[in-house]
Amino acid sequence: MGKELKTNAMRFLDKSKIDYTVQTYECDEFIDGIHTAEALGQPLEETFKTLVAKGKTGSYYCFLLPVAEELDLKKAAKSVGEKSVELLHVKDITAVTGYVRGGCTPVGMKKQFMTVVHDTAEKMPLFYISGGRIGTQIRLSPAELVKAIRGKFEDVIM
């Protein structure tokens, strides 16, 4: 893969010596993670979306969960020790993370935020996350990802 195709996420994984594979697909406009998984023939339960939330304290957090699931804001807040969290507005995603909606991933952001991965991933040998741009997915070990970003596994879905 040529250097020009590498995203910040891939550079972070390379630097952290984490094995991954990249899948790409043609995408004129991002619809949602379910559409992405179906376009690539990926199982929905193994394809995770990245949601960014802001806590009552003003801190930002990443939550990774299966694309067909919804984040439980109360569980999410509890998992990061906040009284409450609210999802970031789409217009703020790029300014906070450096990524665009549909290309947001917990790896290689402007700043590493505390990340909680839904606990179903803990038992998976591999899963899919965004590769850092629309039309790009990365398949890697959830355990290696969590270790590299100093995240944790916890139940954060409804």
- Give the mean pLDDT of 128-134: 90
Please answer whether residues 82 and 59 qualify as being in contact, where contact means their C-beta atoms are separated by less than 8 angstroms.
yes
pLDDT confidence of residue 1? 44
Predicted model pTM: 0.90
Q: What are 27-58's pLDDT values in tens digits?
A: 766 667 787 888 788 888 999 999 999 999 99
- Give the mean pLDDT of 116-124: 96
- The yes-or-no verdict on residue 107 having pLDDT over 80 is yes
Please answer whether residues 118 and 106 qualify as being in contact, where contact means their C-beta atoms are separated by less than 8 angstroms.
no
- The DSSP annotation for the chain comes to --GGG--HHHHHHHHTT--EEEEE---SS---HHHHHHHHT--GGGBEEEEEEEETTS-EEEEEEETTS-B-HHHHHHHTT-S-EEEPPGGGHHHHHSS-TTS--SSS-SSPPEEEEEGGGGG-S-EEEE-SSTTEEEEE-HHHHHHHTT-EEE--B-
CA distances from 18 to 32, 96, 143 (A): 26, 25, 10
**Token representation of residue 20:** 């991954």
Dihedrals phi, psi of 5, to nearest 5 degrees: -90, -10
pLDDT confidence of residue 110? 85
Q: 153 pairs with which residues across the strands? A: 117
CATH entry 2.102.10.10 includes domain 10-150:
no
pLDDT confidence of residue 28? 67
pLDDT confidence of residue 30? 62
Which among 107, 44, 55, 105 has a CA at the least distance from the CA of 78?
55
What value does the CA radius of gyration of the chain take, rounded to a whole number of Å? 14
Q: What are 55-70's pLDDT values in tens digits?
A: 999 999 999 999 999 9
